[in-house]
Amino acid sequence: MRVWAGLLACLLAGPVSAQDVRPIARPVAAAAPVTVQTPDEKTVRPLMRGSMAAKLAGTPLRPVPRPYTRPDLAFGAQTRAIFRAEQNLFAFSPLALRQSMRPLLRPASIEAAAEERRIARLRGQVCDDPAIQGTTVGAVPGPGACGISSAVKVRSVAGVALSQQAMMDCRTASALKTWVERGVIPAVGGEGGGVAALRVVGHYSCRTRNHQPGARLSEHSFGRAIDIAGIRLRDGSEMTLLTDWNSDDDGAQLRQMWRAACGPFGTVLGPESDRFHRDHFHFDTARHRGGAFCR
């Protein structure tokens, strides 16, 4: 109604000049101040990149990791570098030690006894090997082609005694030691307390093969062979090839020893080779063109 009343008043008043027309001033609201959010100690989220607030603030802000404050060290902890386990580390345990504990010195009597045993081993060694104990014999002449140029009489190898001292050369003695270390001792293990001795039934002897008339000379004739019939354990029991080769108790172990001998020795004969070896191992260091002969 007010609009129509105004128009009617203008018509009644007559024509209006351009000078009489003035713009009507309207109230203009004041611009709201722009607030820029800046991170402070309570801010948990950074300003979003590309936002207006970030542009007004200048360089986009990123979160900065705050330095870690080390807590007070517990009682007994070490901070000096000389007492640290590693550089730039420190202990927090109250049980941390200032210095590592050291064992007490051994009594002089123990050291003296150990030195005596060492000297005795060196004095009893043959073939320049402390693990082979015996005496040096030297040249052993024999009838015909028999004999040993440089013989030793072995009483133990690798800490395992021989039931009788065996005459042989150093090459055979070294092969016997290797077999005991790699074959006999691992095969027996802890059974019966371990290996105590080898039952030797043949070593140097000027004879033919298998004592057969007209046969070739055996390797025993040159000090290159040894025959073993059983393994005695520390509890007094014994593994014998005659009774235990096919047994359920020790058969597998005796076969393991037989396989271990094939390599250190050039010839390995066991109970399954022929009737002459059904009760013992025959080992010799003869060289064969085709490698070790094992049966």
pLDDT 10s digits, 237-266:
999 999 999 999 899 999 999 999 999 999
**Range name among 90-104, 124-138, 190-204 with the lowest pLDDT average:** 90-104
103 lies in some domain: no
Cβ atoms of residues 125 and 132 within 8 Å: yes
Return d(Cα 5, Cα 21) in angstroms, integer.
Answer: 18
Q: Model confidence at 287, in pLDDT bands (50, 70, 90)?
A: confident
Q: What is the pLDDT of residues 3-42, one digit of tens each?
A: 455 555 555 555 555 455 454 445 545 555 655 555 555 5
Among 92-96, 196-200, 270-274, whose mean pLDDT is lowest?
Answer: 92-96
Q: How many CB atoms lie within 10 A of CB 241?
A: 24
Tens digit of each residue's pLDDT (9 = 90 or more) over 109-137: 888 888 888 888 788 889 988 899 999 99
The reply to whether 31 falls in a domain is no
Least confident of 10-24, 138-152, 203-217: 10-24
Residue 18 is predicted with a pLDDT of: 46
Hey, which residues does 293 pair with through a beta bridge?
267
Q: How confident is the model at residue 290 (pLDDT cuts 50, 70, 90)?
A: confident
In a domain, 11, yes or no: no
Query: How many angstroms separate the most distant Cα atoms in the chain?
Result: 169
User: Residue 38: what pLDDT?
Assistant: 59
The Cα 191–Cα 159 span in angstroms is 17
pLDDT at 239: 94
Strands 225-233 and 195-202: antiparallel
Q: Residue 246 domain-assigned?
A: yes
Whole-number percent of the chain with pLDDT over 70: 65
Does residue 181 belong to any structural domain of this protein?
yes
Asked whether 168 and 204 are in contact (CB, 8 A), the reply is yes
Domain assignment present for 172: yes
Taking only the tens place, the pLDDT of each residue in 53-80 is 555 555 555 665 655 555 554 444 555 5
State the Cα–Cα distance between residues 168 and 176, nearest whole angstrom. 10
Predicted pLDDT at 270: 93
CB-based contacts of 166: which residues, under 8 Å, 6+ apart?
153, 154, 200, 203, 204, 226
For residue 247, tell me if it sits in a domain.
yes
Predicted local confidence at residue 169, as pLDDT: 95
Burial zone of 6 (CB within 10 Å; 0-12 exposed, 13-18 middle, 19+ buried): exposed
Take residue 257 and report the two structure tokens written for it.
């020893």
Supply the mean pLDDT for the chain: 79
* pLDDT at residue 105, rounded to an integer: 79
CA pair distance 65, 52, nearest whole angstrom: 25
Q: Is the Cα dihedral 228, 280, 182, 225 positive or negative?
A: positive
Look at residue 295 in the predicted model and tell me its pLDDT. 87
Helix (H/G/I), strand (E/B), else coil: 114: helix
Boundaries of domain holding 271? 116-294
pTM > 0.85:
no
pLDDT at residue 187 greater than cutoff 90: yes
| Residue 96 confidence (pLDDT) above 70 | no
Q: How many domains does the structure of the chain reveal?
A: 1
Residue 21: what pLDDT?
46
